[in-house]
A and B are shown apart, each in its own frame.
Chain A
Amino acid sequence: MAIDLDSPRADRPPGTPTPIVVTRDYSTPDRIFRKGVQASGLGVFVLLVAIGSFLAWYGWPAFRTAGWGFFTHSGPVTPGSTSGFGVLASLTGTVEVAFVAMLFGAPVAVCTALFLSEYAPLKTRPSLIAMIDLAAAIPSIIFGLWAFFELQPNVVGFSTWLSRHASFIPFFKVSSPPLNASIFIAGLVVGIMIVPIVASICREVFSLAPAGEREAALALGASRWQMIRTVVLPFARGGMIGAVMLGLGRALEETIAVSIILGGSYKVTTEILQHGGSTISQLIATNFGSGGQLGLHDLLLCGFVLFVLTLIINLAASAIVNRSRSGAGVDL
């Protein structure tokens, strides 16, 4: 006779042991454990929502006072006044600093990543990678110190050179020297600071390029650069774009190094070589405590703008990196 194993109550020959029924129920400690870690997961979610909503809530009075003029005026709240403040110059300054940073940092980072994944000798590779990772661990205030005392005096000469001989490019025009404490210098520092971020993702996507196709290219007589150009870079394109965007997110938020460098004049300018300029985070960090109650709301509103900006860029970037990482379209 057939034994119905599914049902423990089915008739079975005498002497057979009763089958144990395994249920999907969790025991009480397990249920507590699951609820506990789930709560902490939800806690992260709540935290993010709280950041956005608190900043928006306390920034709202400033927006009610300034209206949409908040996005067309510049500068922090000056004591006693209730208008004329806004985020425009800081927003453009943020974008300019990030732009300079990406223009300088992204190629250096991609080259560094290529070096680490393709060129460096296998023996020394871990220590070289450690050096680059160390760049990410150096506090931004120390980068700021270095830039202020060492980089700036050297770059001023370079800026002068650019302004004299390359002023046909509108960005390099200078109408009011001096040339220290400029957006250009701040951008260079931030560019160096984003290198480890961009390089570490790029290195990872480069090393994911399929070995079969690499060897195929080399076997066909390609030089190392031709192999990189035809196999590694196309494979890693999505990851590289995502990496650069993540670096951009970091460049937008950098506070302290930029605040040490920038002079802080709140005027929209495209002349990045000369003294002055501001970014949103620099505005917040250097004007905290001035401007009374309204000034505080203004800074919190600026913080909200920065928060939303970096949130969008980071989510988009990680979506791109994530998609490219799955190795879609590569069959080997």
Chain B
Amino acid sequence: MTTQTAPEGVLVTTTSASTQTPPAPRPPETGRGPDSGSGSGSGDSSGVAGPPTPPRPRRLPSPIRPSAFGAEDVFLLVASAVSALCLVWIVFYQLTSLSGGLGFLVAWYLTFLALTWLGTAQMIERQVATDRVVGVVVVSAALLVIGIVLFIVVWVAAKAIPTIHWGALFTKDQKSFQVADPHALDHVGILHAIIGTFEQVGLAVLMGVPFAIATAIYLNEVKGFGSRTVRTVVTAMSGTPSVVAGIFIYSMLILTHVLSYSGFAASLALVVILLPSVTRVVEEVLRVVPSGLREASQALGAPEWRTVWSVVLPTARSGVVTAVLLGIARIVGETAPLLFTAFGSQVLNLSPFTHDQGALPLVIWSDVRQAQPVLIDLAFQAAFVLMCLVLILFVLARLFSRPRGRKGGWRRGDNRPAEDDLFARFIVPVPIQERTDP
């Protein structure tokens, strides 16, 4: 409402009508100064008519807000989509005789973007058009990724569930499978693989998690000699190809006849993958333990190990549990290291220390490349069980990582809640320097 208090001379220049005719005496009760919005419309009438007409409500040119999104904009998007569909259909199929669903989709999408830009630029403005097209691209990229994830989950379930014989799947191994037996699924299951996976992952967690927690304590609590180097090494190790982890254990232990192919060798290979990721997450968790707690413990005279054991680790408990769960979720589906260590087996082998052992990923890997439809079905069932395991672990990790007493979405202002940081750190263990939070 700057126009109310602005001096008259400034406003007079804005309308040509009021410069020529002397301004009519304004009724004081309206409280409005002569303004540009009504000046052009009422300027003529006020010059002619004797009695002062009450001025119309002021209409400023409505500001363009790129973020405003109304029915008109939705219509524009839909219209662009439909017209792009028609255009591409004509060009793609009728004129150039192209083919392929995916190619059509890509061409349609690009045309849609172009039409959206042109339409918005015509109707509103070019900067708004660019803003809106970028918005469409960003949203559709995210929807694409989310859509693929959901599709994979649903697709595996849909392929597996109709063929599952629940009685056999969890109680039989693949020993009695015979080629060209259409009812093989009645007496063939993946018990051997489930047992194998549980033993291998369990051993890997037993060996890897204490190691990882100790290393994280070294990096964050003790900070002794060489901890910078160790942090770099952990980062470097987190990029170790999983296939390399497998052939490393193979060359170190199996080639030298220390071990035979066994579940234990597989779990050692899994430790190589588990260790750096869990170390980084646990270090991140320990970092957010308030140092006041440590200082209080030390001021009470507790030795360092006692501070870590009774104060730091209990405070960070939920984060550590999250780290371990995510670590399990990561290694449970690893296939490449198992090829060289557990080797895979069709029969149930309860001992992880002797002989070849099956595993869920190995069942998928070996069965899906067979020409037997029954085996492919079995591979999908194994994939379904594996997916369920991963989902359960993932959901549990989410539950544990959420701080108590807070639910739902973020509040405006807290841009980076800690639980999402943990997940990010797990996906990519990158070293973080001192936080630069204000």
Do residues A47 and B145 form an inter-chain contact, with CB atoms below 8 A?
A: no
List of A residues within 8 angstroms of B329 by Cβ: 137
Q: For B237, B245, B420, which residue has the most chain A Cβ atoms within 10 angstroms?
A: B420
Within 8 A of B (CB), among A127-173: 128-143, 145-146, 148-150, 154-158, 160-162, 164-165
Within 8 A of A (CB), among B116-141: 127-128, 130-131, 134-135, 137-139, 141
CA–CA, A85 and B276, complex, Å: 34
**How many interface residues does B have (CB within 8 Å)?**
120
Do residues A112 and B102 form an inter-chain contact, with CB atoms below 8 A?
A: no
Tell me whether A216 is interfacial, beta carbon within 8 Å. no
List of B residues within 8 angstroms of A149 by Cβ: 159
Q: Tell whether A122 pairs with B152 under 8 Å between CB atoms, given A129-B420, A303-B244.
A: no
Tell me whether A217 is interfacial, beta carbon within 8 Å. no
Tell me whether A226 is interfacial, beta carbon within 8 Å. yes
Do residues B239 and A249 form an inter-chain contact, with CB atoms below 8 A?
A: yes
Do residues A207 and B416 form an inter-chain contact, with CB atoms below 8 A?
A: yes
Summarize B's interface: helix, strand, loop or mixed: helix
Do residues B423 and A133 form an inter-chain contact, with CB atoms below 8 A?
A: yes
Q: Tell whether A141 pairs with B237 under 8 Å between CB atoms, given A126-B410, A255-B335.
A: no
List of B residues within 8 angstroms of A40 by Cβ: 211, 214-215, 218
Q: Tell whether A197 pairs with B427 under 8 Å between CB atoms, given A37-B215, A54-B248, A204-B421.
A: yes
Of the 9-residue stretches B80-88, B227-235, B311-319, which lies at the interface with chain A? B227-235
Residue of B whose beta carbon sits closest to that of A313: B239
Tell me whether A315 is interfacial, beta carbon within 8 Å. yes
Q: Tell whether A37 pairs with B335 under 8 Å between CB atoms, given A115-B142, A138-B149, A192-B145.
A: no
CA–CA, A200 and B295, complex, Å: 34
CA–CA, A315 and B137, complex, Å: 32
Cβ distance B190 to chain A, nearest Cβ, rounded Å:
14
Q: Tell whether A314 pairs with B235 under 8 Å between CB atoms, given A43-B215, A139-B334.
A: yes
CA–CA, A140 and B305, complex, Å: 40
CA–CA, A242 and B424, complex, Å: 15
Do residues B145 and A29 form an inter-chain contact, with CB atoms below 8 A?
A: no
CA–CA, A37 and B239, complex, Å: 23
Tell me whether A68 is interfacial, beta carbon within 8 Å. no
Cβ distance B66 to chain A, nearest Cβ, rounded Å:
4
Tell me whether B162 is interfacial, beta carbon within 8 Å. no
CA–CA, A122 and B276, complex, Å: 32
List of A residues within 8 angstroms of B411 by Cβ: 122
Q: For A111, A118, A138, A160, which residue has the most chain B Cβ atoms within 10 angstroms?
A: A138
Cβ distance B356 to chain A, nearest Cβ, rounded Å:
12
Of the 9-residue stretches A4-12, A69-77, A266-274, A317-325, which lies at the interface with chain B? A317-325
Tell me whether A181 is interfacial, beta carbon within 8 Å. no
Tell me whether B103 is interfacial, beta carbon within 8 Å. yes
Cβ distance A75 to chain B, nearest Cβ, rounded Å:
18
Of the 9-residue stretches B13-21, B168-176, B346-354, B429-437, which lies at the interface with chain A? B429-437
List of A residues within 8 angstroms of B424 by Cβ: 133, 200-201, 203-204
Q: Which one of A27, A131, A253, A325 contacts B433 once the chains associate, using CB atoms below 8 Å?
A: A325
Do residues A139 and B243 form an inter-chain contact, with CB atoms below 8 A?
A: no
Do residues A207 and B415 form an inter-chain contact, with CB atoms below 8 A?
A: yes
Q: Tell whether A128 pairs with B146 under 8 Å between CB atoms, given A38-B222, A307-B240.
A: yes
Do residues B145 and A44 form an inter-chain contact, with CB atoms below 8 A?
A: no
Known: A133-B423, A228-B134. 8 other contacts (CB 8 A): A44-B230, A157-B103, A158-B103, A161-B103, A192-B148, A260-B368, A288-B247, A314-B236
Q: What 3 A-B pairs come out closest when comparing CB atoms?
A: A139-B333, A157-B100, A314-B239
List of A residues within 8 angstroms of B290 by Cβ: none
Do residues A42 and B226 form an inter-chain contact, with CB atoms below 8 A?
A: yes
Cβ distance A50 to chain B, nearest Cβ, rounded Å:
7
Q: B residues touching A (Cβ–Cβ < 8 Å)?
A: 66-67, 96, 98-103, 106, 127-128, 130-131, 134-135, 137-139, 141-142, 144-146, 148-153, 155-156, 159, 211, 214-215, 217-219, 221-222, 224-227, 229-230, 232-245, 247-248, 251-252, 255, 272, 275-276, 279, 303-305, 308, 326, 329-330, 332-336, 339-340, 361, 364-365, 368-369, 379-380, 383, 386-387, 390-391, 393-394, 398, 408-412, 415-417, 420-421, 423-424, 426-428, 430-434, 436
Do residues A137 and B394 form an inter-chain contact, with CB atoms below 8 A?
A: yes
Cβ distance B297 to chain A, nearest Cβ, rounded Å:
13
Do residues B226 and A115 form an inter-chain contact, with CB atoms below 8 A?
A: no
Cβ distance B304 to chain A, nearest Cβ, rounded Å:
5
Do residues B340 and A288 form an inter-chain contact, with CB atoms below 8 A?
A: yes
Tell me whether A195 is interfacial, beta carbon within 8 Å. yes
Tell me whether A95 is interfacial, beta carbon within 8 Å. no
List of B residues within 8 angstroms of A255 by Cβ: 241-243, 335-336
Cβ distance A214 to chain B, nearest Cβ, rounded Å:
11
Task: Please name 17 pairs of A and B residues whose Cβ atoms are closer than 8 Å in the assembled complex, sorted by A.
Answer: A34-B222, A37-B221, A41-B215, A44-B234, A48-B240, A115-B141, A122-B412, A133-B424, A154-B101, A157-B100, A164-B98, A195-B145, A225-B135, A246-B239, A281-B243, A303-B243, A326-B433
Do residues B226 and A140 form an inter-chain contact, with CB atoms below 8 A?
A: no
CA–CA, A122 and B414, complex, Å: 10
Tell me whether A65 is interfacial, beta carbon within 8 Å. no
Tell me whether A103 is interfacial, beta carbon within 8 Å. no
Do residues B99 and A300 form an inter-chain contact, with CB atoms below 8 A?
A: no
Do residues B243 and A285 form an inter-chain contact, with CB atoms below 8 A?
A: yes
Q: Which one of B149, B232, B275 contacts A47 once the chains associate, using CB atoms below 8 Å?
A: B275
Do residues B148 and A253 form an inter-chain contact, with CB atoms below 8 A?
A: no
Q: Tell whether A37 pairs with B387 under 8 Å between CB atoms, given A225-B130, A281-B241.
A: no
Do residues B428 and A131 form an inter-chain contact, with CB atoms below 8 A?
A: no
Do residues A122 and B410 form an inter-chain contact, with CB atoms below 8 A?
A: yes
Within 8 A of B (CB), among A267-320: 281, 284-285, 288, 296, 299-300, 303, 306-307, 310-311, 313-315, 318
